[in-house]
Amino acid sequence: MSKHVRGTRVTVPDIRARKSGEKIVCLTAYTKPMAELLDPHCDILLVGDSVGMVLHGLPSPVGVTLDMMLLHGQAVMRGSQHALVVVDLPFGSYERGPDQAFKTASKVMRKTGCQAVKVEAAEGVAESISFLVSRGIPVMGHVGLRPQATNIDGGFKAKGRTADERERVLAEARAVDAAGAFAILVEGVAPDLADEITATVKAPTIGIGASKDCDGQVLVTDDMLGLFDWTPKFVRRYADLRALIDRAASQYSEDVRTGRFPAEAEIYKLRTVRGS
């Protein structure tokens, strides 16, 4: 298990330099306590718009607002000292063009203190990425399965299964790379397509439901920790916190109802004042 020295923040050039080198470790984080736990082990903490589904119970990321991303981005920055923190730009906050994208991205960086933003590679977004990068805002691209496009796709569906779709994903990755993205998240594509993207682009790729040969990997932390009954096929559960929390809550409930909690050691007692 690798743990990094706290206080030395990973930079965008550090991530770029990991292309075809040491694998990049990335997990999602939405709160200060979780960021503190993950920070020593991760190169990147992604404040993903998945927060809408994971913490707020939304059916997709489409309902996530900019204010939500600012709030969670600020919390993660308070809890991290080492990892590069990347914040998603939410649906509707950047697609109109470079000016809108810059207004949103600059606000996210000012308000949260994060080091980079992430955008999904919708049509025309490459121009906005280039605009942001040229003005000092590092950008991570996102190709393949794009959660913000779930209404068009009819759900969360893997990409690149037809020749036309495969070429479109490759074209998106090339455009994002040429626009200056420092890394590209590749989601929900077959391993051979992910490998072709990785071999084609200069930026390091970070896979999720893609290929083990991407330059790094990311998972939604709550999935990896087993906090949900169901998780996608590509998730490996490293813990079963749902069961642990259920047992702890059950034991607490029983102790309260039977009077075993609180015990003497858990109660404040009146101090005796000398001389009284």
Q: Does the annotation list 103 as a binding residue?
A: no
Nearest CA-CA partner of 126 in 75, 50, 178, 69: 178
Q: Does the annotation list 2 as a binding residue?
A: no
User: For 176, left (φ over 0), alpha (ψ -120 to 50), or beta?
Assistant: alpha
Show Cβ contacts of residue 157 under 8 Å, excluding neighbours closer than 6 positions: 145, 188
| CA–CA dist 206, 43 (Å, integer) | 12
Q: Does the annotation list 88 as a binding residue?
A: yes
Cβ(177)–Cβ(143) under 8 Å?
Answer: no
Q: Does the annotation list 49 as a binding residue?
A: yes
Determine whether 36 is an active site residue.
no
Options 95, 165, 167, 187, the catalytic residue: 187
User: For 226, left (φ over 0), alpha (ψ -120 to 50), or beta?
Assistant: left
Q: Does the annotation list 120 as a binding residue?
A: yes
Nearest CA-CA partner of 26 in 221, 258, 158: 221
Q: Which amino acid is at 150?
A: T
Cβ(195)–Cβ(186) under 8 Å?
Answer: no
Backbone φ and ψ for 86, nearest 5 degrees, come out as -115, 130
Q: Could you list the active site residues?
A: 187
| Residue ranges at the known binding site | 49-50, 88, 118, 120
| Residue ranges at the known binding site for 3-methyl-2-oxobutanoate | 49-50, 88, 118
| Residue ranges at the known binding site for Mg(2+) | 49, 88, 120
